[in-house]
Amino acid sequence: MASPSKSSFSFGANQAKVSVEVAKALQPLGSNAEYVQISGNGPNAVDFHIAFTIGEISKSDESARFHIISKDSGFDPLIEYLRTKGIVAQRSAEIPGVPIRRTRYRRSWKPSFATCRKTLADRGR
């Protein structure tokens, strides 16, 4: 049986409020959600915190999958690098873009055209 999903949400030092939309989306996670307000300031402080946290978790849990919710396409090179290391990662601009399906991939999974085509065919698309 798979362990429950754990989610970590990082907020900037000066971010004192969370929108109602975000609060409603996170509430169902209950105790499986961790909220981290970083102490540093700077234009990329939260981004570096997220990258470091992904590195720590990926070393301790090889089955971990990562989904960054951000409109910042600056995360895309990080995600591509993680994928070259066999780490499942992706980014969505909004919470509704996060896939609900809980597919477990082996760390050695490497996307290829044939794999994507088979996956889509299996899903009936």
Q: What is the full per-residue pLDDT of the chain (125 aa) written as tens digits?
A: 344 577 888 888 888 888 888 888 888 888 888 888 888 888 889 999 999 999 999 999 888 899 998 899 999 999 999 999 999 999 988 877 676 555 444 444 444 555 556 666 666 65
Which residues lie closer than 8 Å to 51 by C-beta, 6 or more apart?
78
Query: pTM for the whole thing?
Result: 0.68
Give domain status of residue 47, yes or no.
yes
Give domain status of residue 20, yes or no.
yes
- Please tell me the distance from the alpha carbon of residue 74 to that of residue 13, in angstroms, as a whole number: 20
In the prediction, which pLDDT does 4 show?
Answer: 54
Give domain status of residue 1, yes or no.
no
Radius of gyration, CA atoms only, the chain: 16
Q: Which helix (H) or strand (E) holds 25?
A: helix 20-26
Count of domains in the chain? 1
Could you tell me the CA-to-CA distances from 86 to 2, 110, 115 in Å, in that order? 20, 7, 15
Give domain status of residue 62, yes or no.
yes
| Both structure tokens of 31 | 């105790």
Give domain status of residue 68, yes or no.
yes
Give domain status of residue 2, yes or no.
no
Give domain status of residue 94, yes or no.
yes
Q: Residue 16 is part of which domain span?
A: 7-122
